[in-house]
Amino acid sequence: MSKIVWNVDPMHSEVLFKVKHLVISTVTGSFKSFNGQAVTDGDDFGNAEIEFTIDVNSVDTGQPARDEHLKNSDFFEAETYPQFNFRSTSFTKIKADLYKLKGNLTMKGVTKEVELEAEYGGTVRDPWGNTKVGFEVTGVIDRKDFNVTFNSVTETGGLALGENIRIIANIQLAKQVAA
């Protein structure tokens, strides 16, 4: 069976994160610049090899001052570590349209295995004849595992920022046309 390369379509994809703030609400942010691909055996995504890179400087929470704080040494250290990288170690079908995605995530020079869930949304041919496939990838990582440890304490003794970060990535992949 021949290998097929599927490239992330950044115009039709998004990478979001959510974190608790003051224990009472959730702040949502995104990364605006990223790229990646999946390599499959034929059109079957089981055991796909997946790589994904995020430009840390593209963080956007809707608050420029907060975005700058996230880029500095309290959080991501974007000047020293300008990218987050993910490389899959397995992509296994669990049932119907649900997959388990395992891989190595590197943030701030720390690489840890993470496990995410990927829900297959379908495959279609767009109006220009390109074959597209969609997945929604979700999961939770502990930011402390990646040395993102900045926090403060509220007047009641609670942490200002949650440690678990929810990830939601809606990814559309385009089948690469043979040259």
What backbone phi and psi angles, to 5 degrees, belong to 142? -95, 115
- What whole-number distance in Å separates Cα of residue 47 and Cα of residue 39? 9
Task: Give all domains of the chain, ordered by start, each with its CATH number.
Answer: 3-175 (2.40.128.110)
Per-residue pLDDT of the chain (179 residues; tens, 9 = 90+): 689 999 999 999 999 999 876 666 688 899 999 999 999 998 889 889 999 999 999 999 999 998 998 998 888 999 999 999 999 999 999 999 999 999 999 999 999 999 999 999 999 999 999 999 999 999 999 888 988 775 555 555 554 566 788 999 999 999 997 65
Q: Which amino acid is at 174?
A: A
pLDDT, position 104: 98
Beta pairing partners, 90: 102
